Structure 1
Amino acid sequence: MIRLEAGMSTSRFVKLIDMPERTWRRWQAKARQGQGPKGPWPQPARSAARDLVVGHALAKPVWGHRKIWALTRHDGHKVSQATVLRLLRDEGLLLASQSRSSAVNSPPTVEPRSRRCLMARTRCGNWTSPSSRPPRAARGGSQDAGTGTDKYEHPWHVSPTGNKHDAIAAVELALADYEALFGHPLADACPINEITGEVLPVVTIVTDNGGPFRSIDFELFITSHPELQHVRTRVKSPGQNGSRERGFGTLKYERLFLDEIPDALTLVERAEDYRIEYNTQRPHEAIAWNRPLEVHLGRASTTVPTFEQEEVLPTT
């Protein structure tokens, strides 16, 4: 002890470390009797949420603690993000730092559950439509259209090619999906210029600068749909389309890098399964932890979580 080596009295020592002398004497007496420190302390918040949090974490092993927290809140249990973080750490279910990048760079070959150890807006705003190649594929890929404000994923077009016809097919799928969801074509939602009578576009399709989107056929297709307008990102500014690239990265990380994909039908099945989960189950921080389908249909806001219920206190 520094106090013994320096020949310092107890009163001077406790004053130096800013501790009441009574506290020091009490700790000293307990230590001489062989008693340990106080504890373990009760953990009522963790104990109440443990079953729900652990169940969600095991069902979604590649999701982080904030999404697990959002799922728990949607189940009606009030718990903080810090409590979920500590609970997952206690259970050994917390994702390691940089687990996503390491899993993408070197896809694991273990079972999916043990991968955890490795590792003011409008409904119709922007649709982004990049193309992406699946892993271990020499050519071809998938194209999709997703809204930029509510994160909703329209059906994906998957084919062995990636040309202008695939780009047109991807937009047609999105238009058909909109009509199926709302019961009317997208053109019916377009405003009309009161002076010229011109139909104003209600959706801006943002794409990369690839050849399929520069083709004259794609531009003619967009021109034939007055409800649409097309914007290509600049060659040296691909970050404008980063939301869709992030979505494809998550698809590969959560579905396509689990094991070898035997055929194209399996790839399409996994991609569609991911899209349905993305729209109906996955909470997103950018839309206040709501689900994309709920926001897209107007059932939820992009700024207020649906699990934030106003508490009305009794008057007496």
Structure 2
Amino acid sequence: MTPTARGADALACLRLAVTEAERILGLEDLRTDRGLAEVIGPAGEVLDMAPAPIAVVSDNGPCFRGEVFKTAFDGPDPLLRHVRTRVRSPQANGVIERFFGTLKYEHLFRGVIADGDALDMEIHRFRVIYNTIRPHQAIDDRVPGTAFADRDQGISTR
């Protein structure tokens, strides 16, 4: 069974991701760190500006299509907007597919993993390495923490 086999599990993972993002960014609520989006009228005219929701991209797994998962996107000021990729189109979600490839070829396929608990531990270990030690080509061979700090200080990545 995967961590998101049921809608409630997927919702719990999503809430955990929001909480972790708030912790990393030092925010009490991610709603305070969103940009603005145009509110478009029926004739295509811009009516107003409103806080932009953060897009959550998922595949079309049953846990992401159910009513339980939809509750994360309800309310008068939804923080999140759900975008599902096309069926049988892994290339439409390229960022996570690339991460999974990196995870498998740089870490998981290099050793024997005995069971689900060992897999969980190895994935957690790789996440720490990936975010704090491993340089990323897309950000000038820096680690994400350094690139994020440089961005806050106005230093360009390119």
TM range (shorter): 0.7 to 0.9
- Size of the aligned set, in residue pairs, is 146
Distance 1:171 1:266, change over 3 A: same
Q: Deviations over 1:55-79 (max 9, x none)?
A: xxxxxxxxxxxxxxxxxxxxxxxxx
Match of 1:212 among 55, 63, 66: 63
Instruction: Give distance in 2, aligned partners of 1:287 and 1:223.
Output: 35
User: Match for residue 128 of structure 2?
Assistant: 276
Instruction: Give distance in 2, aligned partners of 1:173 and 1:209.
Output: 20
Where in structure 2 are there 5+ consecutive unaligned residues?
Answer: 40-46
Does the residue aligned with 1:286 lie in a helix, a strand or coil?
Answer: helix
State the percentage of identical aligned residues.
37
Correspondence 1:62-141 to 2 at 5 A: 140-141=1-2
Instruction: Give distance in 1, aligned partners of 2:64 and 2:130.
Output: 26
Instruction: Give distance in 2, aligned partners of 1:295 and 1:172.
Output: 25
User: Match for residue 44 of structure 2?
Assistant: none
Q: TM-score, normalised by structure 2?
A: 0.76
Correspondence 1:229-308 to 2 at 5 A: 229-297=81-149, 298-299=151-152, 303-304=157-158
Distance 1:290 1:237, change over 3 A: same
Bigger fraction of residues in strand: 2
In the alignment, structure 1 residue 226 sits paired with structure 2 residue 70: no
Higher Rg: 1
In the alignment, structure 1 residue 189 sits paired with structure 2 residue 33: yes
Runs of 4+ in 1 over 4 A off after TM superposition: 191-198, 299-302
User: Match for residue 20 of structure 2?
Assistant: 177
Instruction: Give distance in 2, aligned partners of 1:290 and 1:258.
Output: 24
Instruction: Give distance in 1, aligned partners of 2:58 and 2:50.
Output: 25
What is the aligned-residue RMSD (CA, Å)? 2.7
Instruction: Give distance in 2, aligned partners of 1:267 and 1:218.
Output: 25
Q: TM-score, normalised by structure 1?
A: 0.41
